[in-house]
Structure 1
């Protein structure tokens, strides 16, 4: 059977379209290629951007800002010692870039100026720590990327 250039062109286009469709279907249906958003409510978070900027600015203006360090018991956050620990309220959010199922929140409840994130909650690897806290009506924000 003799194939002229028009038939060859049509066969080539059909094969190319089939090749592309195979990859499109594979990428959309296979769970291995599933990627989560960083945050499901990213639009809502974007609307609160100025509050976040103000809180980070307040944190930067502190004489002794929040610091964090790895200890044998876990990761320890040190709040300013000049503040009354009982009046510090807020939330600590730990984000694991490699897996959404490992993300978690902790409420801040202090008896002294340190907060310990237990070693049992943290796996080895990269974590992004975000501490949104408030003291006497003023909001603060501490962010740090760590390798635990």
Structure 2
């Protein structure tokens, strides 16, 4: 039996469509591949995200925001001078995108308006810092990516 080129093209298209439909049906019916986009506690997470947005807005509204600077002894994080450092509390989180084992968080306990993270805790490369702090019941959030 001889098949001309027109019949061959139609057979290839039918084979391709069958192949694609097989995977579409398999992915939609297999419980292993859940693809729901909504989380279980959607509203609770949305409220937490809104609080984060509000804290970032509070931080941007400050005349002097948190200032980060590399020094010879480590990473210096300076809080606004107009705030009393004794009333500042919170957490500083450092995230290393390339290595999860290097991530760490430290509580904010200030003896002056600057805190220094020692050089031995910091390895050269890209870091993301999140300073989640509170002053007189107002939450502030400062996020920044930097290269150390």
TM-score normalised according to structure 1 size: 0.69
Distance 2:77 2:147 in 1: 15
Distance 1:103 1:46 in 2: 25
Structure 2 CA distance for aligned equivalents of residues 128 and 71 of structure 1? 17
Match of 1:54 in 2: 54
Rg (Cα) greater in structure: 2
Shift of 1:126: 0.4
Where 2:55 maps in the other structure, the secondary structure is helix
Q: Deviations over 1:26-62 (max 9, x none)?
A: xxxxxxxxxxxxxxxxx87665110100000000000
Tell me, which stretches of 5 or more residues in structure 2 are unaligned?
Answer: 1-41
| Alignment coverage as a number of residue pairs | 106
Distance 1:122 1:64, change over 3 A: same
CA-based RMSD of the aligned residues comes to 1.4
Q: Which residue is 1:139 aligned to?
A: 139
Structure 1: state its 5+ residue gaps. 1-42
Q: Which residue of structure 1 aligns with residue 10 of structure 2?
A: none
CA distance in structure 1 between the partners assigned to 2:45 and 2:129 by the alignment: 16
User: Structure 2 vs 1, CA of residues 129 and 45 (structure 1 numbering), >3 Å: closer, same or farther?
Assistant: farther
Moved over 4 A (4+): 43-47
